[in-house]
Structure 1
Amino acid sequence: MTTHFTQGTWAEFTKTITEADIYGYAGITGDFNPVHINETYARATAFKGRIAHGMLTAGLISNVIGTRLPGPGTIYLSQELTFTAPVRANDTITARVEVMEPPSAKGHYRLNTTCTNQEGLLVLGGSARVAWKG
């Protein structure tokens, strides 16, 4: 039996971003932009200190999509992202995914995707389109 998620169904994942996460992400991707790894450099930027990679934060959305909603077997088709505030080491980020409309006949879902920090500030907004057969 196939389960379909209805409009408004949502799921979340919360994680505190650590120094190890930032350096690990830099090592995995090769993105050694000094705004992420060099405090002296980053202090001279508009951020006034080091920030986490935007795509590290976006990866928390992938966690929700692939493990919770719709869940295992989901295939990403597209993702739009808008980065609205910096994420720093020791910030606790909650990624939320919400079904925007009933699935298409092909099992495609449109999802609202957001990340907020421990203060409830939106740090990332966007939407995704995924395929899931359930």
Structure 2
Amino acid sequence: MGRYYEEFEVGQTFVTKTRTISDADISSFAELSGDHNKLHVDENYAKTTPFKTRIAHGPLGFAIATGLSYSTGLFDGTTLALLGVEWSFTAAIFPGDTLHVEMKVKSKREASRPDRGLVVRDFNLVNQDGVVVQKGVITVMVKRKSFNE
């Protein structure tokens, strides 16, 4: 079971496990999303770009970040809703990059209903070289323990 609202403290930092991005991940995301931009799916074209190779779709990085966050178990069974996202793409994600997420509880506040609260987290999606490739703020609504025991 994940953590309840009361169990999060402002300033807490969590680091996820890693995930390596494969060519298959990029191709699968192109199929799923319908985004077949040559920068992502055509290696010959991608060689002519400043990146010199295919790169992952930006939204794929975001999806990986949310999945890595979920894999911590912190929000398993206690999350009620995703309320907001502010997200920036700061560097390319390449096939073979190994990513992890560093999240920090930025703030929290009680919701209008007493059985839930809002947790705001800063996210950094970081590659194997320590480069932040994407970052943002994600707000979720979580259960309050005193109303859900």
Residue identity in the other structure for 1:112: D
- Using structure 1 for the length normalisation, give the TM-score: 0.89
| Aligned-residue identity in percent | 32
* Larger-Rg structure: 2
Answer with 80-89 or 61-70: which moved more. Answer: 61-70
Q: Does 2:28 correspond to 1:18? A: no
* Equivalent pair of 1:97/1:113 in contact (CA under 8 Å): yes
Ranges of 4+ aligned residues in structure 1 off by more than 6 Å: none
How far residue 64 of structure 1 moved from its aligned partner, in angstroms, is 3.9
* Alpha-carbon distance in structure 1 between the residues aligned to 2:134 and 2:73: 18
Equivalent position SS for 2:11: coil
Q: Does 2:15 correspond to 1:9? A: no
> Which consecutive residues of structure 2, in runs of 5 or more, have no partner in the other structure?
112-116, 145-149
User: Counterpart of 1:30?
Assistant: 34
> Which consecutive residues of structure 1, in runs of 5 or more, have no partner in the other structure?
none
| 2:53 equivalent among 35, 49, 63 | 49
C-alpha RMSD of the superposition: 1.9
How far residue 7 of structure 1 moved from its aligned partner, in angstroms, is 1.2
* Count of residue correspondences: 133
Taking the TM superposition and a 5 Å limit, the aligned residue runs for 1:97-112 are 97-101=103-107, 103-106=108-111, 107-112=117-122
* Alpha-carbon distance in structure 2 between the residues aligned to 1:69 and 1:130: 14
- Using structure 2 for the length normalisation, give the TM-score: 0.81
